[in-house]
Chain A
Amino acid sequence: MHFVTACAILITMVLTLYRGMRGPTLYDRLLAVNSFGTKTVLIIAVYGFFSGRPDFLDIAFVYALINFISTIAVLKFFEYGGLGGFNRDAGREHS
């Protein structure tokens, strides 16, 4: 059961990786990185139960919490061209 789940998650990871490499627009890539992180959370959790080590859940937690922050940092970077948010519209040139 765990094995089948892990395989399914791995397949979706490959799909998101493809989208991240290929992704014509920035938002495709961003969404790909974000969902890749979510898939990592899932696969770590599944692997933890698969090998009987539930303390792997700690790592899954870190990902679930931290992945969100880097996505927001990327979005801010594209809206303002930096992390401080001093010059609006400066970020347009990057996309």
Chain B
Amino acid sequence: MQLNKLFSAVMLFGMYSLLSAALFVSLDAVDVALTEASVGAGIATILMLGALSLTTNRQRQISWKRRLPAALVTVAIGVLLLYGLSDLPVFGDPAAPAFKHVYPRYAFESPHEIGIPNMVTSVLASYRGYDTLGEVTVIFTAAVAVATLMGHGSDTRSFSGEGMEHHLILRINAKLLLPMILLFALYVQFHGDYGPGGGFQAGVIFAAGFILYGLVFGMSTIREVAPPKIIRILCAAGLGLYLLVGLCGMLLGGNFLDYNVLAHHPVHGQHIGIMLIELGVGTTVAASMIGLFYAYAEHEHRQ
């Protein structure tokens, strides 16, 4: 399907992400579905609209001759992927490599090694702590890059964009929903050990609440609630907290990001470590997303 109107493409992208989250649900990957739900349906659509406001609505017409190489590359990669697909193990095959290598340890040891019911959190935050540190660094770097290119929210209050307070129903609804969104974000953050969720999802939901506030009540109001300066500091502080927990493990005689030594009992140490790094992840993600929103919303002012 080809769409020239970029806005329709953004809308369909939102629908696509809803559908793929439904797919993750039916594959029983609840954590991934939660991420897709909060990132794909919430933040991505908003940021794409922000990007759309800085560009035109229609794609430039390009002659088919110039499109041909791109089409050939796409088809070639598609064929290669299909070829690779034939080598994948059957869905649910117990002999698949995914169930062989580290899976037995994660699945059978983690309940008494880490001691939390949600296996995804123990893999993400403890066994694979390095990888998660990398992901948080990527998000932080992306936020810094956008801030460098487009400017971060300025600290002066010399301008003010209009809010949408004059729409009565919208204003009341936003006021009713905001506490729920923030509360739910905190629930996802701290209940991530027991149910689906964790720092990434919680950060995105938290940021979405702030963005709703900014959309409805105007940029000058949200900048008083969440000053860009503090957002910038928090963005780095979350990553710093993560690194600090890792270094504490080293100073107390363990490896980097080894939480066993954080408390007298290893399982207790794991609990403290996971809670702290999830807090760091959530802080960085939420601050980065709010910073991105500032960058997009204020850049259009400067143009």
Contacts and interface: CB of A to CB of B under 8 A. Distances in A.
Interface residues of A, number: 44
Interface in A44-87: 44, 47-48, 53, 55-56, 58-59, 61-63, 65-70, 72-77, 79-87
Given A69-B212, A70-B41, A72-B212, A40 B21 contact: yes
A67 B50 CA distance: 17
B300 interface: yes
Contacts of B77: none
A58 B30 contact: yes
30 contacts: A17-B15, A20-B11, A30-B11, A55-B196, A59-B25, A59-B30, A59-B37, A63-B37, A65-B205, A66-B208, A67-B41, A69-B208, A69-B212, A70-B41, A72-B212, A82-B50, A83-B49, A83-B50, A83-B215, A83-B300, A84-B161, A84-B296, A84-B301, A85-B215, A85-B218, A86-B159, A86-B162, A86-B301, A94-B7, A94-B57
Interface size class, chain B: 35 or more
B297 A82 contact: yes
Interface in B186-203: 188, 195-197, 201
A80 B162 contact: yes
Interface of B: 7-8, 11-12, 14-15, 18, 21-22, 25-26, 28, 30, 33-34, 37-38, 41-42, 45-46, 49-50, 52-54, 57, 159, 161-164, 170, 173-174, 177, 180-181, 184, 188, 195-197, 201, 205, 208, 211-212, 214-216, 218-219, 293, 296-298, 300-301
Contacts of B25: 44, 47-48, 56, 59
